């Protein structure tokens, strides 16, 4: 499939046939009636990594590369538990982690979750925090 562009936005109106939930329900299946009848659950109401990637393509077609990158990182995070995401978020706060701990998180993101873009972000944070002196020192 060719990359999506501004002409495809908003996806829900112009390309709804491309949108599926992580549980493989079509966008058109997400109705109030289906919710009342138990045909959909909260898991059906989440965005899929593929939909986030499509939004990244649209953003990048408009030369909004940073927004596209944010969508791509979000797509990588879909399969990571909310609890683990919050732990990583807290670990990224200044003076919360040692460089080694951040390197371990980056390795986990890349190798356990195939979240390469997020791993790069954590590696970059580790380098910046080291330069700025805002890493927690071992033993603190």
Question: How large is the average pLDDT for residues 82-106?
Answer: 98
User: For residues 117 and 76, is the Cβ–Cβ distance under 8 A?
Assistant: yes
pLDDT-derived band of residue 108, with 50, 70 and 90 as boundaries? Answer: very high
Count of H helices and E strands in the chain?
7, 0
Banded pLDDT at 140 (limits 50, 70, 90): confident
**Residue 2: pLDDT band with limits 50, 70, 90:** confident
* pLDDT surpassing 80 at residue 1: no
Residue range(s) in the chain whose domain bears CATH number 1.10.1510.20: 80-140
Given a contact cutoff of 8 angstroms between Cβ atoms, the answer to whether 16 and 37 are in contact is no
79: its two tokens: 């399969």
Our measurement of the distance from residue 33's CA atom to the centroid of its chain's CA atoms, rounded to an integer in Å, reads 30
Task: Please determine, looking at this structure, whether the domain spanning 80-140 carries the CATH number 1.10.3090.10.
Answer: no
Over residues 41-80, the pLDDT tens digits come to 988 999 999 999 999 999 999 999 999 999 999 999 999 9
């Amino acid at each position: 499939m060719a990359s999506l562009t501004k002409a495809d936005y908003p996806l829900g109106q112009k390309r709804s046939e491309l949108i599926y939930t992580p549980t493989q329900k079509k966008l058109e299946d997400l109705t109030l009636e289906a919710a009342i009848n138990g045909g959909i659950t909260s898991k059906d109401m989440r965005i899929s990594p593929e939909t986030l990637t499509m939004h990244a393509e649209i953003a990048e077609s408009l030369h909004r590369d940073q927004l596209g990158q944010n969508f791509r990182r979000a797509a990588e995070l879909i399969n990571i538990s909310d609890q683990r995401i919050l732990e990583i978020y807290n670990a990224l706060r200044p003076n919360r982690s040692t460089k080694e701990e951040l390197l371990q998180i980056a390795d986990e993101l890349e190798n356990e979750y195939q979240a390469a873009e997020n791993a790069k972000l954590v590696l970059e944070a580790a380098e910046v925090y080291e330069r700025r002196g805002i890493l927690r020192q071992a033993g603190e």
